[in-house]
Amino acid sequence: MFRFGEVEISVVPELMLREPASLYPDFAPEVAQAELSWLAPHFYDPASQTFASSIHTYVLRFPGRLVIVDTGGGNAKDRPASPRFHRLNEPYLERLALAGVTPEAVDLVVLTHLHVDHVGWNTTLVDDRWVPTFPKARYVFSATERDARDPARGGASKPAAYQDIFRDSVQPVIDSGQAWIVEGTETLAPGLDLMPIPGHAPGQMAVRIRSQGQEALLIGDVMHQPLQVRAPHWNSRYCEDQETARATRLKLLDYAAETGCAIFAGHFAHPHGGHVRRDGEGYRFEPLVA
């Protein structure tokens, strides 16, 4: 658990995966080799050239307000195009309960973007229907993302697998009247606002927490691995707009180094967050002490 002023941030895991370095087309083993003192074995295994990748939800406790950010892959979803998320059966809700979170208590579900590994627990299968998992929450997501993925809009040109994600995990919260569709620059509550970070996904948004002079920034998938702080030009294969993803990453690193805010990423292994420090012409990553 981390504290920023009056706000507590904790992490509820769904999955821990290993990802091949080939996920980064520009990956160079010698770059990783030079960073092994802090990278291995926790974040990166040099023998297999694989990275640790965590799928998790952030729980933000504001005074009088419970917010979760990103909802993993979800259970029982048909994902033949994404085998790692196909028909999962994970005790995620039990883990949320262990963190003191009941679905009824969640006020806001913020989705940094609408990829398969960020929206799954939006809904749960009940009597063959996908129903919102968090019955009293408003679900916050970007209009740009909605326009790109809704099969009734731009999503019609996307592969069927993309359309399925929207149908079973996003459309039900629109139908239930729980969607809060945003531009990506809004203030959601005192001390909680959004910043656009497009590239990896067209409407990706960072979630910024500011309280009593302290700041934390949840950066979605601007970086998948802390090594990208050292090699910010590396994109992942999943970045939809490669040039914009690079530009956003550089901007965000500059912002984090300049403000001293902590960043929390969508998939960094434990402790999931850290500080970005300037180092010569570039940056280095300083993991938080949990």
Residue 221 interacting with Zn ion (CB under 5 A): yes
Which range of residues in 33-41, 122-130, 177-185, 217-225 is near Zn ion by CB under 5 A?
217-225
Closer to Zn ion by CB, 266 or 273: give it. Answer: 266
Which range of residues in 123-131, 136-144, 218-226, 248-256 is near Zn ion by CB under 5 A?
218-226
Transcribe 28-85 into DSSP letters: -HHHHHTTHHHHTTTTEETTTTEEEEEEEEEEEEETTEEEEE---S-SS---TTSGGG
Closer to Zn ion by CB, 208 or 267: give it. Answer: 267
User: Within 2-41, which residues bind Zn ion (CB under 5 A)?
Assistant: none
* CA atoms in the 13 A half-sphere facing the CB of 16: 10
Which range of residues in 24-32, 75-83, 266-274, 275-283 is near Zn ion by CB under 5 A?
266-274
Closer to Zn ion by CB, 115 or 210: give it. Answer: 115
CB of 108 to Zn ion, least distance (A): 20
Closer to Zn ion by CB, 14 or 221: give it. Answer: 221
User: In this structure, how many other beta carbons lie within 10 angstroms of the beta carbon of residue 148?
Assistant: 21
Q: Which of 113, 69, 1 is nearest to 217 (CA)?
A: 69
CB of 200 to Zn ion, least distance (A): 8
H-run or E-run covering 193:
strand 192-196
CB of 131 to Zn ion, least distance (A): 24
Closer to Zn ion by CB, 210 or 267: give it. Answer: 267
Burial of 201 (0-12, 13-18, 19+ CB in 10 A): buried
Residue 150 interacting with Zn ion (CB under 5 A): no
CB of 211 to Zn ion, least distance (A): 26
239-268 burial, b at 16+ Cβ within 10 Å, e below that, comes to bbbeebbbebbeebbebbbeeebbbbbbbb
User: Within 66-125, which residues bind Zn ion (CB under 5 A)?
Assistant: 117
Closer to Zn ion by CB, 7 or 88: give it. Answer: 88
* Alpha-carbon distances, residue 146 vs 34, 101, 198 (angstroms): 41, 27, 14
Binding residue count for Zn ion, defined by CB under 5 A: 3
Query: What residue ranges bind Zn ion (CB under 5 A)?
Result: 117, 221, 266
